[in-house]
Structures are given as C-alpha cells and as structure tokens.
Amino acid sequence: MSETRGRVNRVKELVASGKAVTIAVITTPSVGAMQIWARSGVDVLIIDMEHGHLGIESVHALIAATSGTPAIPLVRVPWNVPWLVKPVLDAGAMGIVFPMIANAADAAAAIRSTHYPPDGERGWGPFYAPFRWGMPLPEYVDNANSELFNILLAERPEAMENIAEIVTVPGIDMLVIAPFDLATIMEHANDPAHPDVVAAIAAAESVILASGVPLGGAALTSERANALIEKGYRGIVIGFDWMVLQRAIAGTLQGINR
C-alpha cells in the first residue's frame, strides 16, 4: 500500500480496532435513496444482487452514489462464482458478500475471486473502480487486495458443521450467520427461533468468536444490537431498505384518526 495514503476502506480499520459497524441491505435501484442512505450514518451499504431487483447498471449507479460519503458500498452477488464478482468489483464495490458458503473450499474460492494474482485469480480490468476509490488505476490495483472488505454468509447446516475449518481460511473479513436461510434449509421456515436453529447458531457463534474472525449478525432493535456487540459481534445488520421504509411509514401513520 502507498505510504502516503491512509486506509481507503474505513470499515477495515474500524473492525480491526475492535469496533462494531452498522450494515444495511439495499434492494431498490434508487440513486436518490442511496444518497440518503450514504449520509445516514450507516457504515456499510450492501447492494443486493441476490434478492434485490438490481442489474449491473443499477449497481454501478448505486456504488457511484456513495462517492464522497463515509459509507462503504459492498455488493452481495447471487452466487459464489468469479464471473459474478468481477464486474461489480470493476464498478467500484469495496467488497463482496458471498451467500451460501458451506465449507472451507467455498470460502477459499470466494476470497480468490476478489484478489489479483498472486493472491487470487481476479481478472484485470478495473476501468471505473479507481474513480469511486479516488485514485489512479495503477494505485487501485496495488491497494485492492488489501482494502476490499469481504463478508461470507454462513447460512447452511453444512456451514455450521464445517465452521471450524471455514474460519481458518485467510482473507475473510467477516462471517455473518444468516438465520432465515438456515431455518428454511433446516425445515423450520419462518421460525429462526426454533430450538434446533438456535442451537446450531450458538455452536457456530462460539467457534467464530474464539477464532478471531469478526462475526456479524442481524439486530432489528437497538437492544438486540447492543446485546450482540456485548457478546463480541462486530457487524450489526440493521435491516433491509424496504423494511426500514415500511417501519417508517407505519410509524408515521400510527395515531392518525381516519
């Protein structure tokens, strides 16, 4: 990394120092809304290509909308394959969120796809990323491997069983346990509080916390968020954009006599 430049990705610095970061998931292709989110105080904005209705053009626009703000744009790709990773990194994403990681091989493949050789197998072609990162193209290539923030989602029973191997893979910036997919695959759809799901999460949680790999999880209330932070969580997912909007509308309507 250049000696004259500080960290490009402030979230890497925050997490490395032991602080917790807030995360929101963006599913709608609104540049205006993204500009509001980017100035809201939320640290990480995950642009969701897995479940959001977003194409690469919208992703590029949403990434660009965070320029000049403290928010760090990541992209959740639909699947763990290099050809889905490459275009969003070249558009300027500052990290990737990988779904459905099941084992150490999946985790290693994910990290390789985000790193230029010799650390990985990312293809060269970052024509627009340097503009979002605020640096010349050669400097971007020199910094990208160390400054990208990559999140892996542990949301399969296999991941819970293989978590001790997954945490040994170099380059994982955060592991997030995703309870809803896990509950669904365990045949407890819409019931992440089922005792079997809770037990699986607790076992994986203890392994991740002991490993030193930063752990993330969902918290829809400040009380839940503070409880996770006290437990050692370093990533707090506050919700999806549609969810926050729905709650705000409901709160506005509450108490109006109609």
What single string gives the DSSP state of each residue in 200-233?
HHHHHHHHHHHHT--EEEE-SSHHHHHHHHHHT-
Residue 158 belongs to a domain: no
Determine the pLDDT at residue 190: 87
Residue 4 belongs to a domain: no
**Chain center to CA of 22:** 10
Q: Let me know the angle formed at the C-alpha of 210 by 145 and 1, rounded to the nearest 5 degrees.
A: 20
Q: Helix, strand or coil for residue 79?
A: coil
Catalytically annotated residues: 51
Determine the pLDDT at residue 6: 56
**Chain center to CA of 167:** 16
Residue 85 belongs to a domain: yes
pTM of the predicted protein model: 0.95
Whether 24 and 238 have beta carbons less than 8 Å apart is answered as yes
Residue 134 belongs to a domain: yes
Residue 48 belongs to a domain: yes
Beta strand 151-154 pairing with 72-76: unpaired
Determine the pLDDT at residue 118: 96
Residue 56 belongs to a domain: yes
CATH code (residue 14): 3.20.20.60
Q: Let me know the angle formed at the C-alpha of 238 by 237 and 243, rounded to the nearest 5 degrees.
A: 120
Half-sphere exposure of 67 (CA within 13 A, CB side): 17
Which amino acid belongs to residue 22?
A: T
Determine the pLDDT at residue 180: 87
Residue 222 belongs to a domain: yes
Cα–Cα dist 38/71, whole Å: 5
Looking at the 3D structure of the chain, how many domains does it have? 1
Token pair 């050669």 is at which residue?
A: 138
Q: Specify which residues 95 forms β-bridges with.
A: none
Per-residue pLDDT of the chain (258 residues; tens, 9 = 90+): 333 355 689 999 999 999 999 999 999 999 999 999 999 999 999 999 999 999 999 999 999 999 999 999 999 999 999 999 999 999 999 999 999 999 999 999 999 999 999 999 999 999 999 999 999 999 999 999 999 999 999 999 999 999 999 999 999 999 999 988 999 999 999 889 899 999 999 999 999 999 999 999 999 999 999 999 999 999 999 999 999 999 999 999 998 998
Q: From residue 128, how far is each of 51, 97, 132, 161 by CA, in Å?
A: 25, 20, 7, 40
Residue 159 belongs to a domain: no
Q: Which domain holds residue 218?
A: 10-152+172-178+214-253
